[in-house]
A and B are shown apart, each in its own frame.
Chain A
């Protein structure tokens, strides 16, 4: 995709109708259950392929084993990865493991896409609407849970982990039927960080309707308790001066908009004429999607948070 815009994956055109997408991501455990961790790490690694418009096919395990891990735990992580990959139609054909201080797991994923159907995160068009396919606030809730397990119920954390482990496949398969102009997945930069990249890259401005963005209500409460991860403050700083928020926006909601997400949803920019149908189809497929804003010509600010 070139180096000037900020896509995470590489794309290589092999023939006139086939391009290869390569991407990798991995991270230390964010959940105690090793099987869940494996699934989340795999779903996260595979996500980039969907964000680029592709279909994932092959993967390699990337793993670092720490001394504290026993064999059963390692097996469970790998089983999580294999199961999630299988759900995505991906075959794990091998991989590489090293020993280190901290456990790490993820996949290096290969996917395919027609060269004319590659999606980039920097091609949003004025007049587009924006669809987001997962709820926000997982970073804050994970931080709160780490601070004190009594702050967030086990039931809610399970929902959060389940969402992280949900493949963006289901949203992507719907998305592929429409004339999508631009797409990215929401990860470490949070909603605003990724919107900013899209707006900057496509020389447009993005309007987000604050009340339309799906967030975990409990994340708002935890943000007001100061359980906001450092990454959210970094994201705020990174986009300083580029974001115009309406007066009276709740600080906790703003924190959630900057909250880094693990294995977050897709942010999809597509023509207004198709957006409603696409959204309805996603919801019918069980995707927790919502229309959260629209794209205009480049204005004074890259991002406007509206009431």
Chain B
């Protein structure tokens, strides 16, 4: 599964990276972010591309599991 580590980046960069990664059109991705704003924005983007998003919070990191 492809992972995008967007921790430490501020918006809109995590969305830009996720958008690039999703061009490979796989069924599952994992995106790591560390802010509420990025979580919301990446979730919005993933949903617009037809993915379901599962959110897990681990310490300071937010893990977004994208699946089709």
Contacts and interface: CB of A to CB of B under 8 A. Distances in A.
Interface string A146-163: 111000000000000000
A230 B40 CA distance: 10
Interface in A101-148: 143-144, 146-148
Contacts of A147: 12-13, 15-16
A148 B12 CA distance: 9
A229 B42 CA distance: 12
B44 interface: yes
In which size bucket is the chain B interface?
10 to 19
A225 B41 CA distance: 7
A226 B10 contact: no
Nearest to B35: A230
Contacts of B36: 233
A96 B44 CA distance: 43
B51 to A, nearest CB: 12
A227 interface: yes
A290 interface: no
A228 B16 CA distance: 12
Interface string B29-49: 000000011001111111110
A228 B41 contact: yes
Contact of A230 (B37, B43, B44, B48): B37
B4 to A, nearest CB: 13
Q: How large is the interface on A (under 10, 10 to 19, 20 to 34, 35 or more residues)?
A: 10 to 19
B48 A225 contact: yes
A223 B44 contact: yes
Nearest to B36: A233
A224 interface: yes
B11 interface: yes
A260 to B, nearest CB: 13
B48 A228 contact: no
Contacts of B37: 228, 230, 233
Contacts of A229: 11
A148 B15 CA distance: 10
Contact of B12 (A146, A233, A251): A146
Interface in B1-40: 10-13, 15-16, 19, 36-37, 40
Residue from A143, A224, A230 with most neighbouring chain B CB atoms (10 Å): A230
A144 B12 contact: yes
Contacts of B40: 226, 228, 233
Contacts of A148: 16, 19
A146 B15 CA distance: 12
Interface of B: 10-13, 15-16, 19, 36-37, 40-48
Given A147-B13, A147-B16, 16 more contacts: A143-B11, A143-B12, A148-B19, A224-B47, A224-B48, A225-B44, A225-B45, A226-B12, A226-B41, A226-B45, A227-B12, A227-B41, A228-B44, A229-B11, A233-B37, A251-B44
26 contacts: A143-B12, A146-B12, A147-B13, A147-B16, A224-B44, A224-B48, A225-B44, A225-B45, A225-B48, A226-B12, A226-B40, A226-B41, A226-B42, A226-B44, A226-B45, A227-B11, A227-B15, A227-B41, A227-B45, A228-B11, A228-B37, A228-B41, A229-B11, A230-B10, A233-B36, A233-B37
Give the top 9 A-B pairs by smallest Cβ distance, nearest first.
Answer: A226-B41, A226-B45, A226-B44, A147-B12, A226-B15, A230-B37, A224-B48, A233-B37, A225-B45
